[in-house]
Amino acid sequence: MQKAVVARLGDYEIRRCDREDIPSVIEVNMKTLPEHYSDYFYYEILSEFPETFLIAELHGDLVGYIMCRVEYGFSHVKRLALARKGHVVSVAVIDEHRRKGVGTSLLLASQSEMTKRSATECYLEVRVSNAEAIALYERVGYKVTGRLENYYRDGEAALVMATQLAK
């Protein structure tokens, strides 16, 4: 069955993740990031937040993914306000397909889905040493709003970055 495409970038297609895509998502995560999750975690996020769990494919091969939550809590952009916030849990693109805009497309497509779910901002945590990812986030308008010491298992700190979402 043809799956609904939410965005296109040259020959790359961005579409919603399905349960049967999860093994490939896990494979991409294993190859690209030191943060791994239980299989259950992926299926759980997919069932709770299917609109913002997107994959990038090239000729039917999965080359990247983004998974997010939508939460309610203290704003990262407006002091002492409460907000509905998108939270990018994990985004990755496999090495051979980087610097072609795939990561940006995944992020922008999921942000637009968050907006439909009434989120007014989006935030994420990123390793302080992850210059590529930080550059991407800054380029699409994210600002550093905090720093979490010892956030990762190996002791590295995280930057919290956030952006307002378009109405």
Contact positions vs ligand ACO (CB under 6 A): 32-33, 88, 90-93, 98-104, 124, 126, 130, 132-133, 135-136, 139
> Which span sits near Zn ion by CB under 5 A: 112-120, 122-130, 141-149, 152-160?
122-130
Take residue 134 and report the two structure tokens written for it. 């930080």
The distance of closest approach from Cβ of residue 127 to ligand ACO in the complex, given in angstroms and rounded to an integer, is 7
Closest CA to 53 of 8, 102, 14, 101: 14
Q: Is 125 in the site for Zn ion (CB under 5 A)?
A: yes
Q: What are phi and psi of 93, to 5 degrees?
A: -130, 135
The distance of closest approach from Cβ of residue 145 to ligand ACO in the complex, given in angstroms and rounded to an integer, is 14
Contact letters (x/-) for Zn ion, 74-113, by CB under 5 A?
Answer: ----------------------------------------
The distance of closest approach from Cβ of residue 65 to ligand ACO in the complex, given in angstroms and rounded to an integer, is 9
Extract the runs of DSSP E, i.e. beta strands, from 17-142. 54-58, 61-74, 82-93, 121-127
Distance of CA 105 to the CA centre of its chain: 10
* Residue among 2 and 136 whose Cβ is closer to ligand ACO: 136
Closest CA to 103 of 84, 126, 72: 126
CA–CA distance, 123 with 147 (Å, rounded to integer): 12
Which residues lie near Zn ion (CB under 5 A)?
A: 125
